[in-house]
Structure formats: C-alpha cells, structure tokens
C-alpha cells in the first residue's frame, strides 16, 4: 500500500485490491473520514484521521508493505490521540440509588461496549456501575467472580442497589444452585477465584502441564448470560489456573465485565490474558501483533499512547478521583463482612458471654449488677479480640489489593498481636502505636507521606486518634480491622484522613466478622450516635449502656 498526502488535505491510499484491506479501512476509519474515488480506484482518508490511519497502516502491514509516499508517518510523541468523552445515560436505570453523573457515563459506556474493563480509581463505584449496567441490560443470570474477602460485600450491594437476589455459592448448593435460577429465586451467583474449579469444572484431562483445552467444564456455565470479574488483574498471567478457568467460563458470553484499578501491574503484557478473556485480542491485531507493537524495547513497553488510545476506543475506560472530585461525597463508609477463620474459638467464647449476660439480667441487687457489668465488659473485649484475630487473613488479602492497585491505606486496630502479625506480612509498613514515642510516630508519618514505597501505616486507635496530622496528604483510604467503643472515637480516628488537606474523597472500610460481636457493636455505636452527639458521662454509665444494649441484642436473637 502507498499512502500519499495530497494538497486537498486527504491521504490517497493505493493498493492491490484485497477484501481484508477494504474491510480494514471501513473498520478503522469511520464514514466521515473516508471516501472511495471510483475514477482513480483509490481510497481517500482525511488528514484529521492521522491516528486512525496509523493504526490502519499497521493492520495492513500484516498483508503487504506500506510506503508513505515521501511523507513519513509522525512519531508517536507527535500524534495527538484524541479519546472521545464518555456518553450520557439517556435511558431509565430503575436502581434503588441514584448514580453520580460520572457513574451514569460509565454505565452508558458499559452498555455500548458489553465486554470491557472498568479501570476507575478505587472508591469510585466500579461495583455499582457494573451492577447497574447488567441490570439495565437484563443480562441475567450473572456470575460474579471476586476475591474471597469481598463476596459478602457483592451480595449486599446487589440487594442494596436492585431488587435482584444474589447467592454466594457454598458446598450446600454445589450441585443444586442451578435450580435457584430456574425457579426464579436467585438471579446472581457469587464465587471466589479459588472455588471456580469446585463449582464449574467437571474434570481436567491431564494431571500436569494442562491447558484450557484439557479442561472439561460443567454444562451449568452455559446458563450465565454475563460474567463480572472483580480485580481482573489477578488473571494477568494466562498460565495460572484461575486465569484458565475464568477464560473458559467467560468464553462466548455476550457480557463480560472486568473491574480493576490496575489492569497493567508491571508491563503491557499484563493486558494480554485479560483482553483474551474479554475476547478482545483481535481488536489489537492478535497476540503476535500486540507483542510486537506494544511489548518491544528494553522495558518491554512500546507505543503506549497508541495502546491507551486503542484501549479506550475498544474496551476500556478509567476516571481518577481527582477528575470527579466535585461529585464525590467528602467521606463514604463501606462495611466489609467477612468470614472469620477461628469460628470454634469464637463460638465457645460467645457462649460464655451469653451465660454471663443471663446472670447479669437476673441480678436484682444493684451492687452485684455493678460488679458483674465490669466482668461482662471484659468478656465482650475478649470476644472482640478473637474476632479481630479471625479477620486477619481477610484483612491481609484486602490490603494486598490496595498494594496491587498502587494505593496507600491507613489500618486501624487495637491488639498488639494484630499489629505484629501485619508487620510480619508487610515488613515495609510503618506504625503509629502506643509502643512508640512522639519522635518515632512522626518518623512513621513522614515516611508514609513522603516515601512512595511505603504503602501501609498501621495505627492504634488510641495512639493515633488525636495529635496525628499529615496522613491525608498521601492517602484517602482507611481500613478498620477493629472498631472503637464509641462513635466519637470512630469519628476521631476517621478524621486522621478525613481532614483539611485531603485531595480526594475519603473511603472508610470497616471490616466486620460475619455473625460476630462486630455487627452488634456497630449497631450499638450507630444507635448511641443517633440518640446523642454528646459523649456519655461517667465510666459506669458507659458500661451500663453497652452491656444493657448488648444483652438486649442477644435476647432479640
């Protein structure tokens, strides 16, 4: 093909007729930028379509040599790749909650693309947008594949935003979950990456070095009309078991939604497996062309502006917090309900607390009741500690997602045992605890704010609830592994990030053990906050309040 820039502002394309090239012209250049000249039997492309013409030339190079008629193509750094703004949502959404304007645009773009990656920054509502997109599209049943720590959050969000029923797959429904869809009881099914084999794989024909071709899936995967892949960068390596399973399950689906704030963790090659799962590799010229074009050079990264342009045009969009800051609330709270991994220890301690609460409720003498209240508070504290230790594994998994997304996070907890175990897993983290003096605390703050490699600061609720400033300059994410005793203490801890100088809307993640005292304590804190914004006076009054409310909650069960 010979491409020549003419004086009329059009490029003339001359080539020996080949249907594939004609199809390529029509797919790369829209109708407003191209025309066919029957007199000269050439195609004409307007010069304003230079970036698209560059892409077309690379496509044609797979068939024949391309020459630029004395006018060499521009270097990538000189090309202005114009990404079109996201569309407006112009149809009713029928959701229980009104989306922000930027979320509506993400929903609308998702409806256009169908198979895509939502790369929005953490805290911008990728979950909400994906739920809305598939609800509007009526693409049920839906399979949600996600990290184990957020399964319950997905279940809650479906119920919060829509009238659809979501089910987390468990051993009890391993072979019967399909009936829940067929009878109309559930429309959404949620599974973690590690359990894909258990629920959807019939058998693997080889014991070693097996590929996707060796996997025999259960017929039930054909029921799904859509698949959501949360944190889809976990599938960046095509050789991993989970990437193979996800690709097999998503194959042929009309709707495949990948959610991740970091689709490229290290190099453009990270995209190959994800694009393959979406069925989008052909939009990039296939595997070989993608590697040659975008994975070249000493850093295995090339023509990145062009790659970004292709992604946005075909299957991707992303907004950062700073872009939509005016639409974001100053602070949002999100409850993360997780399974604890020390359930028996917890249940035994809870039985002990319950028996003591019964004695407390039956005590007639005020002096006796006063003495027992102190003992009940101790046992409540023990139960909270057990729950905190039981959430550690889930907390670690959640924090790893922040690191993979290149995000910093402040972690609040109470137990030194929890702090020490977190430091063992994340040796690069810094601390603000009661075991440090003021100089050491400030050194930790400075490292967290100034050093991009320090992603985590572990803070004691008591030690960091006051007199700590600066964290907001580097971070807008907070994770509570343990809760304070009062709403005032919670608000004080949250204000370490939600304060003047915060550049983005703050997100407070509160991790609660499912069916544990965490849920009851949160209920008590919320109720107490509603009753009064003032602090209850006197330690005995605080004990009476919490113990009585706790006893009433257990009685309700």
Lowest mean pLDDT among 146-150, 371-375, 384-388: 371-375
Q: Are residues 187 and 218 in the same domain?
A: yes
Q: Are residues 110 and 43 in the same domain?
A: no
How many other CB atoms sit within 10 Å of the CB of residue 194?
Answer: 11
Whether the pLDDT of residue 528 is over 90: the answer is: no
pLDDT at 544: 47
Whether the pLDDT of residue 317 is over 70: the answer is: yes
Q: Are residues 48 and 127 in the same domain?
A: no
Higher pLDDT, residue 130 or 207? 130
Q: What is the widest separation between alpha-carbon atoms in the chain?
A: 107
pLDDT at 556: 57
Whether the pLDDT of residue 410 is over 90: the answer is: yes
Whether the pLDDT of residue 370 is over 80: the answer is: no
Domain-terminating residue out of 47, 78, 109 = 78
Q: Are residues 106 and 54 in the same domain?
A: no
Lowest mean pLDDT among 358-362, 380-384, 482-486, 491-495: 358-362
CA distances from 67 to 9, 52, 81, 113 (A): 18, 16, 22, 34
Question: If you average pLDDT over residues 308-316, what whole number do you get?
Answer: 93
Whether the pLDDT of residue 221 is over 80: the answer is: yes
- pTM given for the model: 0.75
Residue 153 lies in a domain: yes
Q: Structurally, how many domains does the chain consist of?
A: 3
pLDDT at 299: 84
pLDDT at 484: 87
In whole angstroms, what is the distance from residue 485 CA to residue 335 CA?
17
CB of 281 closer than 8 Å to CB of 255: no
* Average pLDDT value over all residues in the chain: 87
Whether the pLDDT of residue 73 is over 60: the answer is: no
pLDDT at 543: 46
Whether the pLDDT of residue 424 is over 90: the answer is: yes
Whether the pLDDT of residue 72 is over 50: the answer is: no
Higher pLDDT, residue 459 or 359? 459
Q: Are residues 36 and 133 in the same domain?
A: no
pLDDT at 371: 65
CATH number at residue 411: 3.40.50.300
pLDDT at 215: 97
Q: Are residues 145 and 194 in the same domain?
A: yes
Place of tokens 């987390």: 168
Q: Are residues 305 and 335 in the same domain?
A: no
Q: Are residues 69 and 113 in the same domain?
A: no
Q: Which domain holds residue 38?
A: 2-78
Lowest mean pLDDT among 138-152, 347-361, 522-536: 522-536
Question: If you average pLDDT over residues 337-342, what whole number do you get?
Answer: 95
pLDDT at 532: 45
Q: Where does the pLDDT of residue 537 fall: very low under 50, low under 70, confident under 90, or very high at 90 and above? A: very low
Q: How many helices (H) and strands (E) in the chain? A: 20, 19
Q: Are residues 69 and 110 in the same domain?
A: no
Residue 68 lies in a domain: yes
| Environment class of 411 (CB within 10 Å of its CB; exposed 0-12, middle 13-18, buried 19+) | buried
Q: Where are the alpha helices (DSSP H) in 405-496?
A: 416-425, 438-450, 461-464, 487-494
């Amino acid at each position: 093909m010979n491409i020549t820039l003419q004086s009329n502002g059009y490029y003339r394309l001359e080539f020996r007729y080949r249907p594939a090239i004609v199809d390529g012209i029509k797919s790369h250049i829209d109708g407003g930028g191209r025309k066919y000249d029957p007199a000269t039997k050439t195609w004409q492309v307007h010069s304003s379509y230079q970036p698209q013409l560059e892409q077309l030339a690379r496509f044609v190079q797979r068939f024949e040599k391309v020459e630029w008629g004395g006018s060499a193509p521009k270097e990538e750094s000189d090309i202005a790749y114009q990404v079109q703004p996201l569309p407006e949502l112009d149809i009713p959404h029928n959701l229980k909650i009104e989306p922000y304007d930027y979320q509506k645009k993400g929903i609308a773009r998702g409806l256009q693309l169908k198979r895509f990656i939502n790369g929005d920054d953490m805290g911008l509502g990728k979950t909400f947008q994906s739920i809305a997109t598939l609800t509007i599209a009526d693409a049920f049943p839906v399979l949600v594949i996600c990290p184990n720590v957020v399964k319950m959050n997905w279940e809650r969000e479906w119920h919060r935003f829509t009238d659809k029923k979501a089910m987390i797959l468990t051993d009890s429904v391993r072979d019967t979950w399909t009936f829940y869809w067929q009878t109309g009881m559930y429309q959404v099914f949620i599974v973690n990456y590690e359990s894909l084999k258990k629920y959807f794989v019939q058998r693997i024909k080889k014991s070693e070095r097996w590929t996707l071709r060796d996997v025999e899936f259960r017929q039930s995967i054909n029921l799904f009309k859509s698949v959501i892949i949360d944190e889809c960068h976990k599938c960046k390596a095509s050789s991993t078991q989970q990437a193979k399973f996800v690709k097999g399950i998503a194959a042929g689906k009309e709707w495949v939604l990948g959610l991740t704030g970091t689709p490229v963790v290290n190099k453009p090659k990270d995209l190959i497996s994800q694009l393959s799962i979406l069925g989008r590799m052909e939009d990039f010229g296939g595997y070989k062309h993608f590697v040659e074009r975008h994975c070249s050079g000493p850093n295995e990264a090339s023509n990145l502006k062009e790659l970004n342009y292709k992604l946005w045009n075909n299957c991707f969009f992303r907004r950062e917090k700073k872009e939509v800051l005016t639409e974001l609330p100053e602070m949002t709270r999100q409850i993360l309900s997780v399974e604890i991994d020390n359930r028996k220890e917890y249940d035994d301690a809870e039985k002990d607390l319950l028996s003591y609460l019964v004695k407390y409720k039956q005590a007639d003498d005020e002096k006796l009741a006063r003495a027992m209240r102190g003992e009940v508070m101790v046992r409540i504290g023990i139960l909270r500690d057990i729950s905190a230790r039981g959430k550690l594994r889930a907390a670690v998994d959640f924090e790893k997602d922040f690191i993979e997304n290149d995000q910093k996070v402040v972690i609040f907890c109470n137990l030194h045992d929890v702090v020490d175990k977190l430091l063992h897993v994340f040796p690069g983290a810094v601390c603000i605890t009661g075991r440090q003096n003021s100089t050491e605390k400030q050194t930790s703050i400075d490292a967290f704010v100034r050093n991009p490699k320090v992603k985590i600061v572990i803070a004691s609720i008591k030690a960091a609830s006051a007199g700590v400033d600066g964290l907001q300059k580097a971070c807008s994410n907070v994770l509570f592994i343990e809760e304070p005793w009062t709403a005032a203490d919670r608000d004080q801890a949250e204000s370490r990030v939600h304060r003047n100088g915060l550049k983005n809307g703050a997100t407070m993640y509160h991790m609660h053990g499912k069916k544990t005292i965490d849920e009851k304590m949160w209920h008590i804190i919320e109720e107490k906050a509603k009753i009064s914004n003032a602090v209850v006076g006197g330690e005995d009054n605080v004990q009476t309040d919490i113990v009585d409310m706790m006893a009433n909650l257990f009685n309700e069960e």
